[in-house]
Amino acid sequence: MTVVLVHGVPETAAVWDPFVSELAQLGETDVVRLSPPGFGAPVPDGFEATMDGYHAWLVGELERIGAPVDLFGHDWGGGHVLNVAMTRPDLVRTWVSDVLGVFDADYVWHDMAQQWQTPEVGEAVVAGLAGAAVADRTAFLTAAGMAGDVAERVAPGVDEAMGRCILTLYRSAAQPIVADRAGEHLHKAAARPGLALLPTEDTYVGTLDQRRRAAGRAGADVVVFDGLGHWWMTQDPARTAKVVVDFWREHR
């Protein structure tokens, strides 16, 4: 079965490097990494870097694969995955996401997201990040919790195009937009087996209660990663890969 990985913000596909190595050690070698436009991939002419635009992009990529996949998203990639699981279950065999708390009615966007969603403030923040030296971008990602060796590979891809896409994406998802969409559709994700990952030290994607509530509404199993943060797959790739592979094989 094909495994499809979708990363988030501000990231490139390099964020998966240690995790994919562990998947290979466990025998999972049919792995496709999809980079959302602007996040390690070119932005096509006319592309709208909104929540709906990325939904259409991911649907198109999965349709090209041509068979249901084990779909796995991290950060905004996890949001894109959920949006597909809610609307096009025919493209999905199983799904995994680590951001279900964002889809809870009580979720409040984290401080950085609120800056990105604020006109002029957001432009200044992303310009400062994209314009910084690669070493400074690496330090920013490491301070936020990404493993240093992975941050060194991701940082060169944090550029002006990514900054523009960050602003458009987050502004298209300002609350209550995400909560309203979840209220209407989140239960539909239960059409396919789902797994919600809950790293206990992740402060970006809602409280544990919010994440559990959303997982329940989506019909997902829940696995808690004690002591891990937002970039859990770079902190302990062996432990986390085993959990996800066990889930996939349970449903094969």
Confidence of residue 208 (pLDDT cuts 50, 70, 90): very high
**Does residue 207 fall inside a structural domain?**
yes
In this model, does residue 27 exceed pLDDT 90? yes
Model confidence pLDDT, tens digit, residues 147-158: 999 999 999 999
Is pLDDT larger for residue 245 or for residue 181?
A: 245
Residues 132-147 have a mean pLDDT of 98
Closest CA to 97 of 74, 113, 127: 74
In this model, does residue 90 exceed pLDDT 90? yes
In this model, does residue 211 exceed pLDDT 90? yes
CA distances in angstroms from 116 to 8, 9, 60, listed in the order given: 15, 12, 27
pLDDT, averaged across the chain? 97
Confidence of residue 188 (pLDDT cuts 50, 70, 90): very high
For residue 104, give its domain range. 3-108+177-250
Distance, CA of 63 to CA of 187 (rounded, Å): 23
The four Cα atoms 248, 18, 34, 91 give a dihedral, to 10 degrees, of: 0
Residues 186-214 have a mean pLDDT of 97
Closest CA to 20 of 7, 37, 9, 39: 7
Which amino acid belongs to residue 117?
Q
Note if the pTM is more than 0.85. yes
CATH number at residue 85: 3.40.50.1820
**Does residue 151 fall inside a structural domain?**
no
Q: Under DSSP, is residue 97 helix (H, G, I), strand (E, B) or coil?
A: strand
In this model, does residue 1 exceed pLDDT 90? no
Rg over CA atoms, the chain: 17
**Does residue 34 fall inside a structural domain?**
yes
Residue 181: the pLDDT is 82
Number of domains in the chain: 1
Peptide bond into 119 cis (omega under 30): no
Q: Under DSSP, is residue 48 helix (H, G, I), strand (E, B) or coil?
A: coil
**Does residue 37 fall inside a structural domain?**
yes
**Does residue 51 fall inside a structural domain?**
yes
Closest CA to 54 of 73, 69, 70: 73
**Does residue 192 fall inside a structural domain?**
yes
Handedness of CA 47, 48, 54, 60 (dihedral sign): negative
**Does residue 114 fall inside a structural domain?**
no
Count other Cβ atoms within 10 Å, centred on residue 227.
11
Contacts of 65 (CB under 8 A, 6+ apart): 2, 4, 32
Residues 206-221 have a mean pLDDT of 97
**Does residue 158 fall inside a structural domain?**
no
